[in-house]
Amino acid sequence: MSGSMVYDLGGSNMAGVDERKVLAKLVEYLRESLSYEIWYWKNYVLRAKELFPRRPEIDLIICRKEKDAKVPPLLAAEVKYIRTTKTGRVSPSYYSGLDEALALLILGFDKVMLIHLVEEGVLSTVFLDYAKLLSSMIKSLGLPLGYRVYALALSTDLHIYKTVKLWAGDIYDLENLWVSPTPNPLLKDRSNLGKAVRRNRKLLVNTLGIKDVHT
């Protein structure tokens, strides 16, 4: 399932669209759709010397903004941009980013998410079944992370959608596949791992300037 395949998707694809532009569009979309103001960091490298693992890069960090203060909950997201290449190849791996998202729990974030941003043609013809499988797996295994999948379309600008049009003409609501993130269980774990995670959290909130009532 993880090997590259060739699909004739028709029309133009987004092979030349820079991933940084896609991430910027996602942040813009989230800021408009959330009911509260946020602080955010993109492609952030944590440089605290005591942190383990050392110097991780995080695609997206979000926290609430209240009277210019950065406050919990602190959410981290692993973001994967799935599209065709210039040769028409696509790698429809349903678990893309899953390992990296789970690893974010060790850093002490309150909640963690995996976000798939998928080229509209790839989503409607190839990736939708994989997204369904991943969503079911997260729910069935009770994994402590959230999941979002969005459709990406390119006209004069990038657009993000919560629905996708299937080849038969039906509209599929992607929110059916979303999984709400649950609290990070490692923050309350009494093992040595839990202690390391809480240590990481103190470094995390200090580095980001978070007003954290738990530290």
Whether 214 maps to a domain, the answer reads no
Q: Which amino acid is at 186?
A: L
pLDDT above 70 (res 14): no
Whether 55 maps to a domain, the answer reads yes
Whether 183 maps to a domain, the answer reads yes
**Residue 57 belongs to domain spanning:** 5-208
What is the C-alpha end-to-end distance of the chain, expressed in Å?
43
Whether 213 maps to a domain, the answer reads no
pLDDT in tens, 30-72: 988 887 888 888 888 877 677 666 667 899 999 988 888 888 8
Whether 189 maps to a domain, the answer reads yes
Whether 10 maps to a domain, the answer reads yes
Distance separating alpha carbons of residues 101 and 56, to the nearest angstrom: 12
- Confidence category of residue 95, pLDDT binned at 50, 70, 90: confident
Whether 33 maps to a domain, the answer reads yes
pTM reported for the whole predicted model: 0.87
Query: Structural domain tally of the chain?
Result: 1
Whether 110 maps to a domain, the answer reads yes
pLDDT in tens, 194-212: 999 999 998 888 888 887 7
Distance separating alpha carbons of residues 6 and 16, to the nearest angstrom: 17
Collapse the DSSP code of 39 into the 3-class scheme (helix H, G, I; strand E, B; otherwise coil) and give the result: strand
